[in-house]
Amino acid sequence: MANRPTGEGTMNTLVGNGTTIEGSLNVPSSIRIDGKIVGQITCSETLLVGKTGLIEASVRVKNATVGGKVQGDITAQETVILEGKSTLVGDVTTKKLIIEEGAVFNGTCRMSEEARSEPAPARQPASTGAREQPQGEAGGQETAARSEAGV
């Protein structure tokens, strides 16, 4: 198990299992989510997503620990932890990313000191699958083989 960021704030906000909140949440300390949040979350300390938690939102926090599911981008000043059975579909901008065995992460990650205040860049379109081969590899050898065969 990875070391958990302790955060300096008190965990004084809880969204319980079965609860759904739509809109913007601004939390001046830490929050635990076992229910569902749709919209935006801003948290000055630690966001903890429990195993039953589901977030469909953009998230800005100091630290995040995900045990449930997040669909949306996370921007964290310090650390993002994806626990063993968690799922994150979205981009991460953070100083430190920890992905435990069994976690699913589909997105991009940007990690650096500068990344703490800048959003992740837009995703690039997927490649067509065609691969360029530098001269001297198979492409160059095939040309040489054709000239020897008189082709």
Residue 20 within a domain: yes
Mean pLDDT of all residues in 99-103:
97
Residue 91 within a domain: yes
Residue 88 within a domain: yes
Residue 132 within a domain: no
Residue 151 within a domain: no
Residue 5 within a domain: no
Query: What is the per-residue pLDDT for 112?
Result: 72
Element (H, E) at 36: strand 36-43
Residue 131 within a domain: no
78 within 8 A of 65, measured Cβ to Cβ? no
Name the pairing type of β-strands 74-82 and 54-66: parallel
- pLDDT above 80 for 122: no
Residue 59 within a domain: yes
HSE-CB of 84 using CA atoms within 13 angstroms: 2
Q: State how far the Cα of 50 lies from the Cα of 43, in Å rounded to an integer.
A: 16
The predicted model scores a pTM of 0.70
Q: Which range marks the domain in which residue 20 is found?
A: 11-123
68-80: pLDDT as tens digits = 999 999 999 999 9
